[in-house]
Amino acid sequence: HSVLTQPPSASGTPGQRVTISCAGSDSNIGNNHVNWFQQLPGTAPRIVIHNNNQRPSGVPDRFSGSKSGTSASLAISGLQSEDEADYYCAAWDDSMNGRVFGGGTMLTVL
Amino acid sequence: QVQLVQSGAEVRKPGASVKVSCKASGFTFTSHDFNWVRQAPGQGLEWMGWMNPDSANTGYAQKFQGRVTMSRDTSISTAYMELTDLRYEDTAVYYCAINRYYFMDVWGEGTTVTVSS
């Protein structure tokens, strides 16, 4: 099981705002930056949020990230059908001396 | 343009080894760290380790220490990930990714490794 805990699934209707959580501990999220990845079916992952809340160029401003203590969240507003994908959080873990991922959240646009 | 092109699918027997390559183009090969991530069928992402292509320094996830080796050939701008003592549970898609502007912001297309007797 994953060091970072995400809900296995989330859903929303077009135009809605959805939030995906990522729970960790002091050794990872509590002390290090969080990154979020989007993975469309059959493709390589793509980073959508880096350094907790920074959006890489080319990522729509509908995507936003936040961090508080040992938890982080990815929010997607104005949900669109093309947002249907798996989403993963990731952070460095000081205890494991390595990068850890969440188990992933499958987002369904109803 | 910036691109990472990985080697083709591999099939190995349990106990064997596999070496996956990741050829870089469109940027200075030694300027960005390489990461390797794998994804078992229907499962999530798993970070395996990183390599600095300039110094050849590496860092491996604890789970893979002793079985994985990350290396590079700067003359052909290619990074490698070798995994030994393969088990059925090593069946996965293996990705290379670089930290260009952000963490793992450029990815290869993935290499499928199947461990089967």
Q: What is the pLDDT of residue B98?
A: 97
CB B53 within 8 A of CB B30: yes
Going by their DSSP bridges, the two strands B18-25 and B3-6 should be labelled as antiparallel
A vs B, Cβ pairs < 8 A, gives: 61
Nearest CA in chain A to B46: A101
How many degrees, rounded to 5, is the angle at CA A39 between CA B111 and CA B13?
A: 25
pLDDT tens per residue, range A50-87:
999 999 999 999 999 999 999 999 999 999 999 999 99
Instruction: Give chain A positions within 8 Å (CB) of B35.
Output: 99
Helix (H, G, I), strand (E, B) or coil at A79: coil
Contacting residues for B26 by C-beta, under 8 A, at least 6 apart: B1, B2, B3
Q: Is the pLDDT of residue A2 over 90?
A: no
The identity of residue B83, as a single letter, is L
The pLDDT of residue B69 is 98
**pLDDT-based confidence at A1, cuts 50/70/90?**
confident
| Residue A45, token pair as written in the block | 């992952």
Tens of pLDDT, residue by residue over A13-33, are: 999 999 999 999 999 999 999
Dihedral sign computed on CA atoms, order A9, A12, A14, A17:
negative
Q: What pLDDT, on a 0 to 100 scale, did the predictor assign at position A19?
A: 98
Least Cα separation, residue A100 to chain B (angstroms) = 7
Which residue, chain included where needed, has tokens 């050849």?
B56
User: What residues of chain B lie within 8 A of the CB of A102, using their CB?
Assistant: 44
Neighbouring C-beta atoms of residue B116, cutoff 10 Å: 10
CA distance A63 to A80: 11
Q: Is the minimum CB–CB distance between A62 and chain B shorter than 8 Å?
A: no
Backbone φ, ψ for residue A83 (5° rounding) = -85, -10
Contact B23, B5 (CB under 8 A): yes
Whole-number average pLDDT of chain A: 97
